[in-house]
Amino acid sequence: MVIQKNKNGFYAQSGGVTAVINASAYGVLNKARQHPGAIQKMFAGQNGILGALEENLIDTSLNSVEEISGLKTTPAGAFGSCRYKLGDLNKNVEKYRRIVEVFKAHNISYFFYNGGGDSQDTTKNLAEFVKEQNLDIKCIGIPKTIDNDLPETDCCPGFGSVAKYVATSILEASLDVSSMAATSTKVFILEVMGRHAGWIASSGGLAQDNENDPPHIILFPEVPFHLHSFTKKVEETVGKFGFCSIIVSEGVKLENGELLTNARGTDAFGHAQLGGVAPLIAQVIEKELNLKNHWAIADYLQRSARHISSKTDVDQAEAVGRHAVELALEGKTSVMTTIERITNQPYTWGLGSVDLEKVANREKMLPSDFISTDGFSITEKCREYLSPLIEGEAYPDYQKGIPRYTKLRRELASKIVNYDFPI
């Protein structure tokens, strides 16, 4: 009698977490549970791919349906994520070999990797390695990044929720400044993430009903910062509306490509700097225009703000996770699930997949026709693209006034390989 070994799956979260990456986890785990004949058990990497390298496999079969469902409304990485690159296959083959060793020991035939560009590259490399080894391990990438810079997918889960947070926050703070400007603060600056591309900064523009509405100025990483044209625009805006509301991307650069501020060191104008471009912009406004200002840096608040996630984003995050399992069960490998925009108004979308070869190591930048000619705001085309991504609310439950987020039990499977691997 031939004993059919049970096939298991492995899911890992990678890189900076988001408000909805756990919704993708839910999509994967829930779908896999619907196919117990094909996938007996899903393991999740404790702290991402480190979990595979260190054989720290969370046995999600021990989690109840309720626990798994809680992932839909819980931000950040419930299994732990990591910033750890496996790197080039040829130079780091021992890492790929180790992962395969652990996978073989635990009968893992499905690999789901939930991350950004680097993670998609890793998934591609692993797919290549298992093919060389004549192993049947399906390797599927699941898109995730607040930076929205993955190619081949219309958008990236995680981005829509940050965009909704940024648009709502600048709308609210601008109302505040507007009420106080007669006798107090005249300029407000909100610093947002996005070191390479201006997707997040651009989403601030969604707070505008018309061109006179705040935010009056967006500083994109794509548009070189000119001191004079910036201060002129601030001065004009305060003259016209009594106040000026500004979004600044952490990635704003000078003409020569140098970041306006280095996180720890001396800024581009030679001032000592404790990090943050917003205080630098504030200093410029004070020195050049002598205008009272306030500034905020949202930092992790923006990417973890599940309390104001976009429903579209939550739905898409879950869907790309679910579809990853469907693709694997169809026998696909070395692909990433994608979101496809079908129509703009009304917004309709579907799911697809793309060969990882086309995704790995490519960044989708903000198109130049998404930025206005003066470089300080977004175009109608940009608005049409962004707007559906922040649509809909998907509130978590609350208990005692705060969101009731899941604290997932993380029980590790017994080690089988059981020797240390140098990380």
Which residues within the stretch 258-317 sit at the binding site for a copy of itself (CB under 8 A)? 264, 271-276, 279-280, 282-283, 286, 294-301, 303-308, 310
Site residues for a copy of itself, 400-419, by CB under 8 A, read: 400-403, 405
User: Site residues for a copy of itself, window 137-196 (CB under 8 A)?
Assistant: 164, 167-169, 171-173, 175-180, 182-184, 188, 190
19 or 359: CB nearest a copy of itself: 19
Question: At its nearest, how many Å lie between a copy of itself and the CB of residue 166?
Answer: 10
Q: In terms of CB distance, is 267 or 318 closer to a copy of itself? A: 267
Q: How many whole angstroms separate alpha carbon 91 and alpha carbon 265?
A: 33
Closest to a copy of itself by CB, 87 vs 275, is: 275
Q: Which residues in 168-201 are b (16+ Cβ under 10 Å) and which e?
A: bbbbebbeebbebbeeebbbbbbbbbbeebbbbb
Scanning 14-22, 59-67, 221-229, 324-332 for contacts with a copy of itself by CB under 8 A, the matching segment is 14-22
Rounded to a whole number of angstroms, the distance between the first and last alpha carbons of the chain is 41
> Binding to a copy of itself by residue 81, rule CB under 8 A?
yes
CB 49 within 8 A of CB 118: no
Q: Which of residues 336-365 bind a copy of itself (CB under 8 A)?
A: none
Strands 348-355 and 335-343: antiparallel
Structure tokens at 11: 């899911």
Shortest CB 36 distance to a copy of itself, Å: 28
Of 125 and 208, which has the nearer Cβ to a copy of itself? 208
User: Which residue carries 């009420």 as its tokens?
Assistant: 179
Interface residue with a copy of itself, options 398, 409, 411, 416 (CB under 8 A): 398
**Which DSSP symbol is given to 192?**
E
Q: Contact at 8 Å (CB) between 58 and 410?
A: yes
What are 185's two structure tokens? 């603060």
Phi, psi of 19 (to 5 degrees): -75, -15
Rule CB under 8 A: is residue 107 a binding residue for a copy of itself?
no
Q: Shortest Cβ distance from residue 145 to a copy of itself (Å)?
A: 14
**Minimal distance in Å, beta carbon 257 to a copy of itself?**
23
Q: Which residue has the tokens 């081949």?
A: 152
Is residue 147 annotated as part of the catalytic site, yes or no?
yes
* One-letter identity of residue 164: K
8, 30, 74, 316: which one contacts a copy of itself (CB under 8 A)? Answer: 74
Who contacts 69 (Cβ-Cβ below 8 Å, separation ≥6)? 26, 30
Among 80, 194, 205, 251, binds a copy of itself (CB under 8 A): 80
Tokens of 227: 């001191």
Interface size with a copy of itself, residues (CB under 8 A)? 77
Cβ neighbours for 309, distance < 8 A, ≥ 6 positions apart: 19, 20, 75, 160, 161, 164, 393, 394
**Among candidate residues 109, 94, 105, 103, the one with its CA nearest the CA of residue 37:** 109
C-alpha–C-alpha distance, residues 220 and 197, integer Å? 8
Given the residues 147, 149, 267, 313, select the one marked as catalytic: 147
| Smallest gap from residue 292 Cβ to a copy of itself (A) | 10
Tokens read off for 231:
């201060």
Q: Is residue 16 a contact point for a copy of itself (CB under 8 A)?
A: yes
Q: Among residue numbers 200 through 219, which ones bind a copy of itself (CB under 8 A)?
A: 206-207
Nearer to a copy of itself, 314 or 328 (CB): 314
Q: Is the dihedral of CA 265, 269, 272, 273 positive or negative?
A: negative
Least distance to a copy of itself, CB of residue 101, Å = 21
Shorter beta-carbon distance to a copy of itself: residue 28 or 167: 167
152/362 Cα distance (integer angstroms): 10
Member of 6, 36, 65, 83 binding a copy of itself (CB under 8 A): 83
Q: How far is the CB of 273 from a copy of itself (least distance, A)?
A: 7
Is the CB of 354 or the CB of 389 nearer to a copy of itself?
Answer: 389
Residues with catalytic function: 147
